Amino acid sequence: MKVYTHDDFLSVYASDPAASPGRIEAILNAVRGEVEIGQALPATREDILAVHTKYHVEGVEREGVYEIAALAAGAAVQTALRGLEEPSFGIIRPPGHHASADYHWGFCYFNNMAIAMEHLRSNGHIKTAHILDFDLHYGDGTVNILGSKGYVSIHNPDESDRKHYLSEVAEKLDSLQVDIIGVSAGFDNHIEDWGHVLYTEDYQEMGRMVHSTSKKLGIGCFGLLEGGYNHSVLGRNVLAFLRGLQGL
């Protein structure tokens, strides 16, 4: 399985929990030896401006985080392209699903998933897509950018009971007829993280669901890191999801 990341994601670029020291290291330590690491490359300005306004991009530049945000967006594009061939994952930060076309919040700057999906669509790789966003927090930025475009369905599960949560995800995936599935993979709904709902095995199960649906439809799938802030469990949660995404 190919995973895209970069040493620059280890840097502490801000004071928020997504940028805290040791977070990316916890994931890399857990998955090393089970994945093939690919070097992330920055997104082109063209890809970023296909999703965000010039005003927004200039604001991110003024905040001094353009380079790291563009690197995360570029890795997302690489991950999505690889996902057309085999399951893939982006171990990236800053996260992206709270970044809208012209504003951002929630530790996000550019919307990595939206940039990746728009790149696939505009280059003729897909006509339709589905996004499963299992982060604790609603992916308002992704909905803002892609929700009205017509080619993407977006699912933010909203259940406080883990069995109902998994059933909701399964029901939605079973109804799909799309060209690719992207997962905004936030792990902050874990029982030992902020949300206190899901268990490690639940992330593996959701990965298996996505894998099974992709295999049934003969399509690709990929995931991008969003939230997840308890470093002591984050690595094993990501690893569980990656194993599931491969059908394990």
Contact indicator for 104, 98 with CB cutoff of 8 Å: yes
Coil, strand, or helix at residue 216? helix
* DSSP class per residue in 97-129: TT--SS---TT-SS-HHHHHHHHHHHTTS-S-E
Contact indicator for 70, 110 with CB cutoff of 8 Å: yes
| CA atoms of 76 and 126, how far apart (whole Å) | 16
Whether 98 is catalytic: yes
Of these residues, 52, 98, 155, 190, which one is catalytic?
A: 98
Residue 31 neighbours by CB distance under 10 Å: 20
- As annotated, the active-site residues are 98
